[in-house]
Structure 1
């Protein structure tokens, strides 16, 4: 676990400009996709490639900001932590799933029985006593 204290981050004008540029590039790619949808000469696959290129360029621009570096650090640490996870075997997963299914069935039958008993008590006994 990383125990270093987090210092408050100051907002850098260059980072804000880069993030705005990244959003504009992505919005431009999406706008171009919809704008050229009316043009029959440009196939949908080319328009989709254009949006993907805009997405990659926007992510590359955003990755150069301090926020992008923090996100990359978070992803690296997450991958490191995922290597520590002990995943269950197929047999353990199937047994656990079977137990959960049996418990759900038993509880649903139990709740159905309670509902049936309460319905008969209310409708048959209590309402007949009042009349």
Structure 2
């Protein structure tokens, strides 16, 4: 969101909205992870099943991806694809019943490490993508 503020009068509306939306999406995911919204608060506090919350997050991510497709594929696409792959792996590992039902994981500790490791790697790659994109945009604007 800092990049949005810095470029708001120097960039196209699409790029400005991209950085604002990316900041808000990142803030939502940060709040979810910090307060365990999809695992505890929403299912137990409000009665919203975890799978519906996950589908909601996937819908938000899909809307973000479709809405900013042109911006997303311009630069650093390999970082973005890697981040998305690790987030997808995290979602897969976050469903232990399905994995254990087909005999893929018997050890809960390994499953926990795989899920959190995938999520952490996805977070680092997503933040790297955003920082690299922001720096490239700001450098281009500073050069003229």
TM-score, length-scaled by structure 2 = 0.33
TM-score, length-scaled by structure 1 = 0.35
Larger Rg: 1
More helix by percentage: 2
